[in-house]
Chains A and B, each alone.
Chain A
């Protein structure tokens, strides 16, 4: 177990290193003089000097990386030349919104996918199983950005349900009920995408688990069906579910970007797209770095949980 965790930590550090090199190098993909591209032609010499210092532009490229990563580790991601605010503080303001949307959507997705998959797997080919299998297969082919556009079209535009349309976001500190209302649509849209994945993974894994001899053994002990389903079948199968959830995180974030973009919710996704459109490259770089490291960290945590649930994995 300890060896396994250490190996994962080494891997984690390696990945974070690659991410940092990648994010660092992004700036150099830009054509032309870097300060001009980043800060515009009319940048003040003072700002230019600041950028030079941040990026260490007068040094060879590998030294530039160390200058930059040193700044990043001290929490200095530079200053956006458009808003004149620090990139780090912009990210700090936007990040909670992404986390809230993801949290809500995952709660919804797990709360629906787990019980339905359990029922499905108990009677494969029953009406419930057939309906949800066919339905989820169809939904698998509907990208989240289409789900959200169609939801806005039918729910906010056609039905006119209040607080669901674009630009109706209310911050949590302002009014928490209004905040939940304004995030309901995004959370449901993302939950649908996750539900499809979780339901399908858990259902097929449960069906396989229920064929196992230890399930028959559990029955022969005289345990109730409920207990067998939850204690004996769900736990080994939840490994597949957690695995799917870990893999799903990256896609979920990207879907979150789409939702924020459409509904003007000022999370990281919305901030990222507007930064791209306004060529605010330092902000883009900062968001990419934070989000990538975040995804990798979440994956690491999922790995860790899977390990606790299924002790076989680290022993392999």
Chain B
């Protein structure tokens, strides 16, 4: 396998700017990372950190006139930034597919779920009506929907949230994509269903040899399921590294704050969760310095005026952006 084939996705200096009435809004800026085949990486951050925008930008779904995307997204060697809708459409579904956040809104309410899987197969893979139906039922079975022949004719409104998300997954898998972008795939679901869906995704990834980008605000979700983690804040990567490394040796104070604010089973009962003071910044009013500085207890004068770039930590591939990183000792935060 050549080096180029191994690199499924190469993102370089990606920036997404919305031009709003209130001024230019840099939703994503200076994002660079690579991804190899058969990998699962997690993108984590609070709501408003730009992770949803990032995933949609990688997918190339932005096309509104008031959006500017710069930088580069190489998907299996094809440049998605600046590609025409037709060129992107060829890759959507087959190269890269997406699972949307809310299964309540991402399925067409007036179309039978079976038809929604069918049409992808027929339009993209040129299957016959009968073949497509058979395959759609197979897919429904694959994502763990009981009595799929019967569910084929159901409307989304007749299914529960978890079922709907399974249907969404079935749709996104229809054309066997190489890369699956899962944008908060479990936020809209009950806690008990969340684990089922995540386990399903993990299992399917192994079975179908896909790569997955899992976007979430929940560190617990990425801890066991990803090999690499990207921590985002205010549209930028603030820390990136192997999952083990980021959990054990994170250097950025924001990563720690994020870790400390998520509940863990190992905690004694009634343990108080730490909260991150303040709110994510208003992206319209970003300062020169580190955007986390106003909420950071380690912030110095320098943090407020000068933005830190990503710098390498000890382990290869682990990088962080901070002027006052946490010491290199092993942390006690448990997965």
Contacts and interface: CB of A to CB of B under 8 A. Distances in A.
B158 to A, nearest CB: 8
A220 B157 contact: no
B73 to A, nearest CB: 15
A213 B110 contact: no
Nearest to B121: A221
B326 interface: no
Given A217-B106, A221-B171, A231 B59 contact: no
A224 B89 contact: yes
Is chain A's binding surface mostly helix, strand, loop or mixed? helix
B140 interface: no
Interface in B134-169: 155, 157-158, 168
Interface string B218-238: 000000000000000000000
A232 B109 CA distance: 9
Interface string B88-107: 01111110011011100111
Given A222-B93, A236-B109, A213 B100 contact: yes
Interface residues of A, number: 24
Interface in B256-315: none
Contacts of A232: 108, 111
Interface residues of B, number: 33
A225 interface: yes
Contact of A235 (B93, B111, B171): B111
Contacts of A225: 85
Interface string B75-93: 0000000000100011111
A22 B247 CA distance: 78
Given A213-B106, A312-B157, A224 B123 contact: yes
Interface in A230-256: 231-232, 235-236, 239
A59 interface: no
25 contacts: A212-B105, A213-B100, A213-B102, A214-B108, A216-B100, A217-B100, A219-B89, A220-B59, A220-B92, A220-B172, A221-B97, A221-B174, A222-B94, A222-B120, A223-B119, A223-B120, A224-B89, A224-B123, A225-B85, A232-B108, A232-B111, A235-B108, A235-B110, A310-B110, A315-B157
The 5 closest A-B pairs by CB, nearest first: A222-B93, A222-B92, A213-B105, A217-B106, A214-B108
Given A221-B123, A221-B171, A221-B172, 16 more contacts: A213-B105, A216-B61, A217-B107, A217-B168, A218-B108, A219-B89, A219-B92, A220-B93, A220-B97, A221-B93, A221-B174, A222-B92, A227-B123, A231-B119, A310-B109, A312-B157
